[in-house]
Amino acid sequence: MRFSGWRVSLGALVLLAFGMPHLAFADGYVIAPKPWEMWLPQPGSPMEARIDHFMAFVLWIMAGVVGFVALLLAYVIVRFNAKRNKVPSTVTHNVVVEVLWTVIPAVILLVVAWPSINLIRYEADYQKPYMIVKVTGHQWYWEYDYKSVKGLDFTSYMIPDDKLQPGQIRRLSVDHPMVVPAGEKIEFEITSADVLHGFYLPSLGVQRYAIPGQIVHSWTLLTKPGTYYGECNQICGINHDAMPIEIQALPMDQYQAWVKKAQAEYADNTPNRTPAVVRPALVQLAQATR
Ligand SMILES: [Cu+2]
């Protein structure tokens, strides 16, 4: 059994998250970038929590290595400078030192590689999801096709700056967010209808290319009901910055109510091909340089 300790902390995280769902939801739990934010976003999924743990683990090892090398350098500069060391040493080999400086870095690499490979395996395990959403990148919007819900396939466009409502976030809020149940495993089948896009959700630890003609699998599990944001992070054309991702996680009963409503509402909202956000100045620029 790998990572039993991590599993325990994961369980604690899930317990913590589900112990207070009403509180969190009533507060309008939102993980979005903030001005001058310096650290990683709060993890919204167990995957991101594991990535954060692993990042801190490697960072501390790195800090130890950097500190040790800096101390050695300082010692050498002080102890073996030309003034204090008139006759230079002619030693060229020392078996003990050579074995140590080979074995210790190799052990450090193994210590980093083991949890790293386990994390990659965990990220790759998209099996047994509660539901599958097929995510298609278009120039320049996203399309979400709920494979387990008949007829639920809709487009998601960014709200243009001049149409923002109070509470919406500039260049992150969308007209139709992806809505999923909280606490359930969601599989993504990521693809593109035109060029390369990037399905990037920093607070959920998901970052996958959307490649035309290919399906790339990923998954998430949103621990708390709330709103989570991401962006296309693959430069995909003139409105690359206008295709954010908004995901709303609802408690299961609210999600099921949303599905009924959405099925009726989006029944004829099969993806249209009209770009909602085309900034005239940039389009003119593109035409002028064609
Ligand atoms: Cu894109």
pLDDT at 35: 85
Q: What is the pLDDT of residue 290?
A: 53
CA 134–ligand 1 middle distance (angstroms): 16
Distance from the CA of 170 to the center of ligand 1, in angstroms? Answer: 17
Compute the distance from residue 23 Cα to the ligand 1 centre, in Å: 35
Distance 97 CA to ligand 1 centre (A): 52
Ligand 1 centroid to Cα of residue 142, in Å, is 8
The answer to whether the CB of 104 falls within 8 A of the CB of 112 is no
The number of angstroms, rounded, from the C-alpha of 237 to the middle of its chain's C-alpha atoms is 22
What CA–CA distances, in Å, run from 94 to 99, 100, 101? 9, 10, 11
Going by the DSSP 8-state scheme, the letter that residue 167 receives in this structure is: T
Cα(48) to centroid(ligand 1), Å: 22
- How high is the pLDDT of residue 185? 97
pTM: predicted TM-score of the whole model, two decimal places: 0.77
Residue 251, phi then psi, degrees to nearest 5 = -60, 150
Q: What domains does the chain contain, in order, with CATH numbers?
A: 1-271+283-290 (2.60.40.420)
Ligand 1 centroid to 238 CA: how many Å?
Answer: 9
Distance 195 CA to ligand 1 centre (A): 8
- Separation of 275 CA from ligand 1 center, angstroms? 13
Distance of CA 22 to CAs 19, 56, 239, Å?
A: 9, 31, 38
- Distance between Cα 136 and ligand 1 center (Å): 10
Which pLDDT score, from 0 to 100, does residue 22 have? 34
Ligand 1 center to residue 85 CA distance, Å?
62
pLDDT at residue 286, as a whole number:
58
| pLDDT tens by residue, 207-238 | 999 999 999 999 999 999 999 999 999 999 99
Integer-rounded Cα Rg, in Å, for the chain is 25
Ligand 1 centroid to Cα of residue 250, in Å, is 26
> What is the pLDDT, as a whole number, of residue 263?
85
Q: How far is CA 123 from the centre of its chain?
A: 11
Question: Residue 271: its pLDDT value, please?
Answer: 53
Give the distance (Å) from ligand 1 centre to CA of residue 240.
Answer: 5
pLDDT at 274: 44
Number of alpha carbons in the 13 Å side-chain half-sphere of residue 39: 5
Estimate the share of the chain in helix, then strand, then coil, as percent rounded to the nearest 5: 40, 20, 35
Chunk the chain into consecutive blocks of 10 residues (it has 290) and report each block's average pLDDT, rounded to whole numbers.
Answer: 45 41 50 85 93 96 97 93 87 92 96 97 95 95 91 91 91 94 96 96 95 96 94 94 95 94 73 46 54
Residue 163 CA to ligand 1 centre (angstroms): 21
Q: Which residues contact 13 (CB under 8 A, 6 or more apart)?
A: 46, 49, 223
3-state secondary structure 241-283: HHCEEEEEEECHHHHHHHHHHHHHHCCCCCCCCCCCCCCHHHH
What separation in Å is there between the alpha carbon of 237 and the centre of ligand 1?
7
Q: How far is the CA of 204 from the centre of ligand 1 (A)?
A: 18
